Amino acid sequence: MAGLARNDFFGPIIDGLLPGTLQTLAGNGSAVATDVYIEVTAAGTLTLEAAPSTNRFLIVKRNYLGAAYTISGNGNNIDGLASIALAPDGASVSLFFNGTEWSLI
């Protein structure tokens, strides 16, 4: 999984509260089924899973200055759109997959 690395500072906190992992992504990368929180630290595109589980929940946080970060639904719309832009610096989104599409919550 190129570009993904475990965040050892917050990892134990998140791991103790949520059934999944915290990942840091610098540039392009893909979400995996065990991710619950992804922090992006450089411009690029996050591609969500092609076949996520129903009731899947994911938080994505942008933590850098510069161009917007893109989140691609990978064949599943995000509130009716194929992809969304995550901007400005510090922005975050909570995503929920209802079995048909991702919803911003």
How much is the pLDDT for 17?
A: 54
Q: Predicted confidence band at 21 (pLDDT cuts at 50, 70, 90)?
A: confident
Cβ–Cβ < 8 Å for 40, 67: no
CATH number at residue 15: 2.60.120
pTM for the structure as a whole: 0.81
What residue type is assigned to position 68 of the chain?
A: A
Tally of structural domains, the chain: 1
Is pLDDT at 9 greater than 80 in this prediction?
Answer: no
Structural domain span for residue 11: 4-104
Write the pLDDT tens digit of every residue in 35-83.
999 999 999 999 999 999 999 999 999 999 999 899 999 999 999 999 9
Cβ–Cβ < 8 Å for 39, 71: no
